[in-house]
Chains A and B, each alone.
Chain A
C-alpha cells in the first residue's frame, strides 16, 4: 500500500455512465480517495453514507472525495441514486482493479478493492493512507485529522 510522501498515481475512471474523472485535474485541491469493497453494503453503518453527510466538512478543507470500487458505472449509478449520494463513485472496472493495484489496495482473492483511505495534497502527494479491516467502517476521524495537518503546514 502506498505510504505518505509518495506521489499519487494518476488515473482516469468513469464517475457516471458518460463522464470520466482524472485525478491530476484536481491539482490545487486536496483529494480523498476511499477504496471500498462493494456497493450495497448494509445501511446505517455504510461508509459512503457517512461520507455523504460529511461533504460540508470536507469542503471546509478544500477537499474533494471520491469513492472507488470495482463495481461498474451503472451499478454505481443505481447505488448513488438509492443512497442519495452527492459525491462521485468511480468505477475501477476496466481493467478490473487496475487503480486499486497501483495504490496497493487490491484484494486478489475476492477480486475487490480493500477498504483503504488516502488523503492527497494539492500537489498530488499522498499525505496519509490507512488500510482498514474489510469488515470495519473506518469512519472519518483519520481523514479529518490528515486534512487538519495539511492546513497547518
Chain B
C-alpha cells in the first residue's frame, strides 16, 4: 500500500527536508500507542535527523478519543504561528492532561498569541486540514495509530522496529 497523496508542501516535516529517505507517521494525539512511540521517534530524530525527513499527518480517532481532533487542530493553529512541532511535542509529553483548557495552557507556555490561537481553533479550514489528513490516511491503508510509511510504502511495524531497521541499514 502506498501513500496517497505523496508528501507535499502542505505536510509538516522536520529533519533533513532534502533527504530521499522520508518517514511519515499517521498519529492521534490521545492515542497511548502514539505516546509510547513518541520518545522512540525522538531517538530516531537525534540519531538520523540529518539523514531523513520526518512527516506527521493527523489521524484522530475522534469517536474513541474525545480530545484527539481538537489537539490536532491546536497543532495546526500553533503552526500558523510557526510552532507546529513545539505544540506536537508538548501535547505528547503531557498527554495525560489533555483537554481544551490544557491546550490553551500549552499555547501560553509556547508564547503564542493567545487570542489569535483561540480564534484559529475555531477556523474551519484547520478542521478541514485535519480531516483531509485523516482521509488521506484511510486511502493509504492506515488501519490504526500510529501507522508509518517509509518512502511512500506502508511499514507494518512499530516505531521501535522502524528505528532498528534504519540503524541496520545505516551500518551496512
Residues of A at under 8 Å CB distance from B? 43-47, 49-50, 52-54, 57, 83-86, 136-141, 144
Contacts and interface: CB of A to CB of B under 8 A. Distances in A.
B32 A44 contact: yes
B141 A84 contact: no
Contacts of A57: 135, 138
Interface string B19-37: 0000000001001110000
B172 interface: no
B1 interface: yes
Given A44-B32, A44-B33, A44-B145, A144 B63 contact: no
Contacts of A52: 63-64
A139 B156 CA distance: 13
B120 to A, nearest CB: 24
Given A139-B143, A140-B143, 10 more contacts: A44-B28, A44-B31, A52-B63, A53-B62, A54-B138, A57-B135, A84-B63, A86-B63, A137-B143, A139-B142
B7 interface: no
17 contacts: A44-B28, A44-B64, A44-B145, A45-B33, A45-B144, A49-B61, A49-B63, A50-B61, A50-B143, A53-B61, A53-B63, A53-B64, A57-B135, A139-B141, A140-B138, A141-B141, A144-B138
Contacts of A141: 1, 138-141
B117 interface: no
Interface of B: 1, 28, 31-33, 61-64, 134-135, 138-145, 156
Nearest to A138: B143
A141 B142 CA distance: 8
B121 to A, nearest CB: 21
A83 B33 CA distance: 17
Contact of A47 (B28, B64, B143, B156): B143
A35 B63 CA distance: 21
A85 B1 CA distance: 27
A49 B61 CA distance: 8
Contact of A139 (B32, B62, B135, B138): B138
Question: Which 3 interchain pairs have the tightest Cβ spacing?
Answer: A45-B144, A139-B143, A137-B143
Among A43, A44, A45, A138, which residue has the most Cβ atoms of chain B within 10 A? A44
Contacts of B142: 139
Contacts of A139: 1, 138, 141-143
Contacts of A47: 143
Contacts of A86: 63
Contacts of B141: 139, 141
B172 to A, nearest CB: 29
B70 to A, nearest CB: 15
A115 B14 CA distance: 37
B72 to A, nearest CB: 13
B138 A49 contact: no
Nearest to B140: A141
Contact of A44 (B62, B134, B144, B156): B144
A48 to B, nearest CB: 10
